[in-house]
Structure 1
């Protein structure tokens, strides 16, 4: 039997029919609702009913502060209707199959531990660069969630001066949204006129504004990565998210890290960075791995 795995994002609910080795047999997606929880639950149920005779379990990757053992979502991330919802219990209204849920950034980290570039690492970090900055911390080959399930919520790291969160949060300085905002400001455009694809197209054309914005983004990411290396000393730091498919991003981050290390008058360990092994499928693979850890006999 196979598993039905969901990757719930701000704009789309992606889903896949997968076996226990993460082979994908079929994919699809639906628009993520933003009105109320019952609408969201109905979409999950409709997709489930399409595959119910082929599966023996379900797994979900979602934004938010999540207790996987309890199936509970505390802080909901961008999907506000999920606040203080026990999603597993709610889904058991239409099925009694075993269900596992995990935070989206932590799912990406689990994918790398299971089958990706952290497979042979004791300690590592995954930073997912998207509308914000998510990710996961791997300690002794295990996902480390912290005392309040908050470890790896990199968006909230301060990177600047003063008390204004919206000016100093790492998400505001080091995310894809930050890159779009910077290019829009430099070109006097609305943010809606830009996206990552268009910006990297401009970078390929050596557009001065886009290249300068990328350099600023790389500086901000490198500063945070340097600090994480000093705090946690991982073997590797992986960069994920759609933007990580652009080789120039990793190159620019490495350049900025080199500048930092060149100015330090001590011999300290350097951060080793590379892109994640998986891109659009990371959260699906990681959510499946969470399921297999919770239900090893399924």
Structure 2
């Protein structure tokens, strides 16, 4: 049974799939729109439909939200995936595809990919800071993911920064000032012509637009605030920054430059934590979820 494994990355907009061989080569890749369903059975039927399981030996799943050790989804995320709330991902997929399945939070999947085969490989302590609509993440010690007692370790979006009341009636969170969503909100609050994407703002920055340059600089400082808190709490060997923006060389160089020249937490020679871009981006969730599934399967077989 099985010539390759299946990796699934469940997102609020798209569900991505990949057949991956034993050497982690992607044999086939495809995606489809994430649709809203009223029941969990409709959702999982849609997730698993038209998948030929004859050559699959293992399934690894990357999914949004807080997921406990038994793959129970403990938090509600984007509208299109809210039917997953309080469902057991592994059991639902195993019921339909008849193959062993293991699942992991999407930020942790991306981080685990970097830990095992990316720029965090070989480190004794590492953190993965994934910038997107929010900020996902993963904290690792050697080759283990630190999950936390409630499995929320690495949920950097909700890192509290200020307990002063906000418009939403709660404390300010890192995701509200350092995510791509925050970048767009920061720019549009000062521009007479609103922009829809972070890419649009970055293009203006690269074309020397004064407002975009000012906003990007402040946004990068907000990111570094989060990185500085992580460094003082955990002091890892390396922090790898992921998400689409991390593929831009100028962005990583700007983060490194501001961190070096404008942030002095304590005496510079003492802090040796490196800040780098992730090696994998587009496929990190898929690869990380599968690598995690392989490890869990091996552990299960040994027991």
Q: TM over 0.5, yes or no?
A: yes
**Pairing of 1:154-165 with structure 2 (within 5 A):** 154-164=156-166
**Pairing of 1:281-292 with structure 2 (within 5 A):** 281-292=283-294
**Pairing of 1:30-69 with structure 2 (within 5 A):** 30-36=32-38, 37-48=40-51, 51-67=52-68, 69=69
Does the residue aligned with 1:173 lie in a helix, a strand or coil? helix
- Cα 1:61–1:263 change in 2 (3 A) is closer
Aligned counterpart in structure 2 of residue 170 of structure 1, from 166, 171, 174? 174
Q: CA offsets, 1:31-58, max 9 Å, x none?
A: 111333333212222142xx31221121
CA distance in 1, matches of 2:161, 2:267: 23
Cα RMSD (Å) of the superposition? 2.0
CA distance in 2, matches of 1:215, 1:182: 11
Structure 1 stretches of 5 or more lacking a match? Answer: none
Does the residue aligned with 1:214 lie in a helix, a strand or coil? helix
- Cα 1:266–1:117 change in 2 (3 A) is closer
Q: What number of residue pairs does the alignment pair up?
A: 293
Aligned counterpart in structure 2 of residue 29 of structure 1, from 28, 31, 38? 31
Q: Conserved in 2, the CA contact under 8 Å of 1:226 and 1:271?
A: no
Matched, 1:114 2:120: no
- How far is the alpha carbon of 1:265 from its aligned partner? 5.5
Does the residue aligned with 1:295 lie in a helix, a strand or coil? helix
- How far is the alpha carbon of 1:232 from its aligned partner? 0.2
CA distance in 2, matches of 1:55, 1:263: 50
- Cα 1:57–1:262 change in 2 (3 A) is closer
Structure 2 stretches of 5 or more lacking a match? Answer: none
Q: Conserved in 2, the CA contact under 8 Å of 1:108 and 1:282?
A: yes
- How far is the alpha carbon of 1:186 from its aligned partner? 2.0
Query: TM-score if structure 1 supplies the norm length?
Result: 0.92
Query: TM-score if structure 2 supplies the norm length?
Result: 0.90
Aligned counterpart in structure 1 of residue 102 of structure 2, from 100, 103, 115? 100
Equivalent position of 1:20 in the other structure: 22
- How far is the alpha carbon of 1:201 from its aligned partner? 1.4
- How far is the alpha carbon of 1:59 from its aligned partner? 1.3
Deviates more, 1:122-131 or 1:76-85: 76-85
Does the residue aligned with 1:35 lie in a helix, a strand or coil? coil
Does the residue aligned with 1:194 lie in a helix, a strand or coil? coil
CA distance in 2, matches of 1:215, 1:47: 46
Aligned counterpart in structure 2 of residue 124 of structure 1, from 117, 120, 126? 126
- Cα 1:143–1:75 change in 2 (3 A) is same
Does the residue aligned with 1:66 lie in a helix, a strand or coil? coil
Equivalent position of 2:90 in the other structure: 88
CA distance in 2, matches of 1:102, 1:14: 15
Equivalent position of 2:74 in the other structure: 74
Aligned counterpart in structure 2 of residue 218 of structure 1, from 217, 220, 223? 220
